[in-house]
Amino acid sequence: MARLLLSSLFFLFFVVTSVAQTIITVDSVVATRPIRAGLQIAGETTICPGSITALKVEGQYARYQWDTGQETPNLTVYKPGTYTVTVTTAGGCQLTGSVTVRYATGPCL
């Protein structure tokens, strides 16, 4: 039975293909596309008082659950704070990500 060990720093997979007494055969495969660690949330994280921003979970998932109760990939934000979303993949795995929205420190135009 082959085991897959992942080194996410170098995007290199090591597959143990056989183990016979003290001899271990290892093959390596380089990933053809980058591996993203964690959940990606897009959107402007600096707002002016009285304005809004839209946050969006990048990628397609089976289920979305924001800490505000919203169950969609998008969240409209009206005030500063940390917003957390948990997504569930089609296979049942869960990923959680957070983003902090702050008021602008300089003048707002």
| Averaged pLDDT for residues 79-84 | 96
Quick: pLDDT tens for 13-64: 445 455 556 665 555 544 444 444 578 999 999 999 999 999 999 999 999 9
Does the predicted TM-score (pTM) go above 0.75? no
Q: Residue 9 has what pLDDT?
A: 37
Q: Residue 28 has what pLDDT?
A: 52
Separation of alpha carbons 53 and 55, rounded Å: 7
